[in-house]
Amino acid sequence: MFLGTDSCHSVCRPVAQRGPTRGGISVYVAERLSQFVKVWRVAADNSYVWLHLPHVNVNGCEMYLCVCCVAPRSSTVNADSCPYDALQLDIVEAQNAGGCIVVCGDMNARTAELDDYIRLADLQDYLDVPDEGAYLSAYIPKRTNCDKSLPGSGTWGCELLELCRSTELLIANGRTPGDIKGEYTFTSPRGQSTIDYFIVSAEHLSSVADMKVLRDAQFCNLSCDVPHDGQKLDHFPLQLDLACTISTSSTNARSSPSQPSTCPQFKYVESQADTYQQCLTAELLMHLVPLLTGTIDVDTVVAILIMSMTEAAQQTLPRKQKRSVQSSFPRNPWFDAECKAAKKVKNRVYYSNASDQEKQIAVQCFHAVTDRVKKAWLEKRAAELCEMASKDPSVFGGHSTLRSTTFAQWNWQPSLKLSEP
């Protein structure tokens, strides 16, 4: 795992009861970032290392990164315990602290394209749930995988999928930009498989900007067909780009779901009541129901309820606009349907989980449209006034005849130029 090239955190796998001991974990961190990275926890069998990045903020949550190297299921290292049991307890603890969870590495698990989340149909015997087909894709993108082999007794596939369902984590492979096919991550003379993953908290999956499986031989020569130091290595590197902010302040206050910085307000629309209820049910099933089987405190329940209601409202109800002095005056006459459509697009991006750069581009595009429409309206209005003045100058109270150049020759320079099709 590479976060840079200067400092390193590493552990080795315990000595096996039989056969050679192989495998371990090394995390390289750039020196300029080392002060922001702390080792939070190490597994008893050294199968994973947790890093806490308190100054790395993903949608208001501190980042917890877990780097794994899980031994094969047949290894004697796992003779006494399942590594995924301890990993699940750590994930729940990090989630209770309000963290953004990212798990990555060699999981030795084949998952095919099986669900890594709980479907509503699985809960129909216990809850009155709506049909999920109409809006499930709006919450969880479909996952694809080049490796179609179902998880069997030889890998940890079933355990990994159950871990995701129990902790609200989603596999990034095969459902994020850069890896929409779910490329193979492991190759050997016997074939190829997908056993290396990036796994992210469900609510932060939209922050994944890009994920790649670096199959090109130039990346560390990790290809079965390219010898490296006399051996043919088998795992391909994985790269994840995550939208986040880094705060260098030592007094950075923790932002958690239980302490939201702002409380958005929405306007109740009676016609959207059923749709809101369906969205709220889906949010609770995704975020709250999986945690009810374990130990959960009241503060966490309240935080999840607030977050679920807010998410459901954002998708179904319009925001309540604050009254201002300007809103008491008539709307600008040039603000037409095209401007309204541009404003709607800008608001949809600005109030979503988009990055700051995407929000800035949306605002610039909105101003480009309004500037162009306003310019055209003023030019048209100037021509109308000139025509009126030429026909009857008295309507301007005896002033001299207006010239078209007074308005039409202004030097308009919109901040962003959009190419017309």
Contacts of 198 (CB under 8 A, 6+ apart): 102, 103, 104, 171, 172, 173, 208, 211, 238, 240
Look at residue 329 in the predicted model and tell me its pLDDT. 40
- Angle (nearest 5°) at CA 381 between 378 and 385: 135
- In one-letter notation, the amino acid at residue 101 is I
Look at residue 406 in the predicted model and tell me its pLDDT. 42
Beta bridge partners of 241: 210
Contacts of 46 (CB under 8 A, 6+ apart): 11, 12, 13, 14, 24, 25
Report the C-alpha gap between 116 and 118 in whole angstroms. 7
Look at residue 63 in the predicted model and tell me its pLDDT. 93
- Which residue, 225, 135, 147, 156, is CA-closest to 188? 225
65-104 burial: b if 16+ Cβ within 10 Å, else e: bbbbbbbebebebbeeeebbebbbebbbebbbebbbbbbb
Q: Per-residue pLDDT tens for 350-400?
A: 777 788 888 888 888 888 888 888 888 888 888 887 887 777 766 555 544
CATH class of 2-246: alpha beta
Q: Are 170 and 144 in contact (CB under 8 A)?
A: no
267-297 burial: b if 16+ Cβ within 10 Å, else e: eeeeebeebbebbbbbbbbbbbbbbeeeeee
Q: Per-residue pLDDT tens for 261-286?
A: 456 788 888 888 888 888 888 878 77
Report the C-alpha gap between 350 and 355 in whole angstroms. 9
Q: Per-residue pLDDT tens for 42-68?
A: 988 888 999 999 988 888 899 999 999
Beta bridge partners of 9: 27
The stretches in the chain having pLDDT less than 50 are 4, 134-137, 222-231, 250-261, 325-330, 399-421
Report the C-alpha gap between 115 and 90 in whole angstroms. 22
Look at residue 253 in the predicted model and tell me its pLDDT. 40
What residues does each domain of the chain span?
Answer: 2-246, 270-316, 326-408
